A and B are shown apart, each in its own frame.
Chain A
Amino acid sequence: MKVLVPVKRVIDYNVKIRVKADNTGVETANVKMSMNPFDEISVEEAIRMKEAGTVEEIIVVSMGVQQCQETIRTALAMGADRGIHVKSDEDLEPLAVAKLLKAIVDKESPELVILGKQAIDDDSNQTGQMLAALLGWSQGTFVSKIELGDGSAKVTREVDSGLETIEVDLPTIVTVDLRLNEPRYASLPNIMKAKKKPIDEVAPADLGIDTAPRLQTLKVEEPPVRQAGVMVDSVAALVDKLKNEARVI
């Protein structure tokens, strides 16, 4: 089967982000960008399926500015086969991304789309579920285990009360959680090979999708900072503070 894996370019998870002085957003100039960590897990899972012989082709899609092609190249170096870059200089909201992905699914007919459960920049946790809805497909979200069967898949989901297993009909949408796998690093020879793998570039308009935003960001601010605390020098002192000063025990 064919698998589609969307990947998002985000500020690297190790970067301490800074809010812009004019409160219009966060500083992105000269900041290290990487593939959303959840999407690395999606790419890895697709590659493992290919290595296991259940998947023939892995297509990665990224949406956004020109540099998204670097993110696609990273996925190609890990082992994906080809890329699609939906080029846009506008901010794309999850609904718009889901609509663009639907247009690509309609064209490419994958049987499985694997997405990260959330992107670590806007923390929305929406795109996979929205894509499933627009396609009328089943969904398995926050997944830490996937077993592909004949015409269906069994997925284990990380939910608030523990683990839940459901069976979903194919074609399906899976969104992945952190414990599904540990993504590989691309080897140097594979990085070289990835340079020759094809990336198609399309515009949202080519796909017939209106991506006008529905949300207007009025301002972005720093969160309130916590007052500096104190260090105590013993467990007894700690317990005394908690009892007599903070009065929480």
Chain B
Amino acid sequence: MAILVIAEHDNANVQASTLNTVTAAAELSGHGAGDIVLLVAGSECAAAAEAAAKVAGVSKVLVADDAAQENALAENLASLVVGLAGDYSHILAPASTFGKNFLPRVAALLDVQQISEISAVVDGETFVRPIYAGNAMATVKSADPTKVITVRTTTFDPAPAEGGSGAVEPVDAGDDGGQSRFVERAESGGDRPELTTARVIISGGRGMGSGESFDLIEPIADKLGAAMGASRAAVDAGYVPNDWQVGQTGKVVAPELYVAIGISGAIQHLAGMKDSKVIVAINKDEEAPIFQVADYGLVADLFQALPELDAELAKILS
């Protein structure tokens, strides 16, 4: 039987998280599961469906284009997916707030125990997933007839966005159950790369002391084309918006370079960044636990080190 991947998209394009999820699906195909079918549920989402059809490895794209699916409300999206579920052995979504919101509803309605945030596929029914903020890795085997799975995006490379030629097929989007209504979205946005896909991330913690001092990070992030992140403490203190939070309960990231500034390195923060390729820590406390995971550590006052770092980068990047 085929694999159904629920695409995360913005009606125009498919999100990178979808590409990572397709790679997990491709691994399942390699273990004997069938073709990969993408579901694009949205409103005026023809462009996203076309983009989805080009993703390498996708055999078919189902499009549910209707106002009822405009804002990915969990109730409507879950009932749509449950209606399609009968044809599939595996149902996958990225472990982003999009996937985490509706997929457990699908699982419950199918009477299936979901497998959350898998980091590896062992075979068609066996998966590895982090538990205890990534301080242990559990290998679990599912006895359910349908496997309902969210995928940790950082551990699966993105599938190529081009190269596929899937057929696009409209499906009934279902009714608007009307139990919940979208009101508004406040995106902190900006021109910077997204945290979850950035090649370089610079994060600030409580040590930054204020929102204004993140201005010291900005020119450095500009020079490196980096996304900016933060610890929970920095978000709780109101220095920066919630969607900057990296960690067990924030975003999980694995960039080529992660720079932690004024962050102590609590296990909940490490849970979100310790798979980064190169980790740099700048902290005035040489005992800070962040140094235990850092490839390069610098004991320094950040208010001195950041302007220096900006100046040094200016020298080599000019």
- Interface residues, chain A, CB within 8 Å of chain B? 11, 13, 16-17, 19, 26, 93-95, 98, 117-118, 120-134, 137-142, 144, 154, 157-169, 177-179, 213-223, 226-236, 238-239, 241-243, 246, 248-249
Bound complex: CA A236 to CA B316 (Å): 11
Among B25-33, B42-50, B289-297, the stretch in contact with A = B289-297
Residue in contact with B96 in the complex, picked from A17, A124, A160, A165, CB distance below 8 Å? A160
Q: Are A179 and B78 in contact (CB under 8 A)?
A: no
A-B contact count (CB 8 A): 259
Least CB distance from A142 to B in Å reads 6
Q: What is the distance, in angstroms, from A112's C-beta to the closest C-beta of chain B?
A: 14
B102 at interface (Cβ–Cβ under 8 A)?
A: yes
Contacts of B242 in A (CB 8 A): 144, 158, 162-163, 179
- A31→B27 CA distance, assembly (Å): 38
Q: CB-defined interface of B83-116 with A at 8 Å, one 1/0 digit per residue?
A: 0000000000000111011111111110111111
Instruction: For the complex formed, measure the closest distance between the CB of B68 and the CB atoms of chain A, giving whole angstroms.
Output: 14
Shortest distance from the beta carbon of A61 to any chain B beta carbon, whole Å: 18
Query: Of B96, B248, B280, which contacts A242 at CB under 8 A?
Result: B280
Task: Give the chain A neighbours of B74 by CB distance below 8 A.
Answer: 129, 132, 139, 141
- Are B277 and A133 in contact, with the CB atoms below 8 A? no
Does B172 belong to the interface (CB within 8 Å)?
no
Against A, the Cβ 8 Å flags (1 = close, 0 = not) of B183-204 are 1111111000000100010000
Q: Which of B139, B224, B298 lies in contact with A218, CB distance below 8 A?
A: B139
Distance from A141 Cβ to chain B, minimum over Cβ atoms (Å):
5
Q: Is the CB of B141 within 8 A of A168?
A: no
Give chain B's interface secondary structure class.
mixed
By Cβ-Cβ distance, the 3 closest A-B pairs, closest first, are A129-B104, A130-B108, A214-B113
Known: A126-B114, A178-B249. A133 touches B104 (CB 8 A): yes
Q: In the bound complex, how far is the Cα of B79 from the Cα of A132, in angstroms?
A: 12
Q: Which residue of A lies closest to B181 (CB)?
A: A167
Q: What's the nearest-Cβ distance from chain B to residue A136, in Å?
A: 8
Q: Decide if B243 touches A160 in the complex (CB within 8 Å).
A: yes
Q: Which residues of A contact B297 (CB under 8 A)?
A: 229-232
User: 1/0 per position for B141-158, CB-CB distance to A under 8 A?
Assistant: 111100000000000000
Say which residue of B114, B189, B305, B309 sits within 8 Å of A94 (CB atoms): B114
B134 at the interface (CB under 8 A from A): yes
Asked whether any CB of chain A lies closer than 8 Å to the CB of B36, the reply is: no
| Docked CA distance A139–B131 (Å) | 25
Please give, as numbers and ranges, the residues of chain B lying within 8 Å of A93 by CB-CB distance.
Answer: 113
Which single residue of chain A is at the shortest CB-CB distance from B232?
A178
CB distance from A170 to the nearest CB of B (A): 10
Q: A126-B104, A141-B74, A220-B136 are in contact. Are A235 and B312 (CB under 8 A)?
A: yes
Task: State the CA gap A142–B181 with chains docked (Å).
Answer: 16
Q: Evaluate contact between A17 and B132: CB separation under 8 angstroms.
A: yes
Note all chain A residues with C-beta closer than 8 A to B181: 166-168
Cβ–Cβ contact A26 & B136, under 8 A: yes
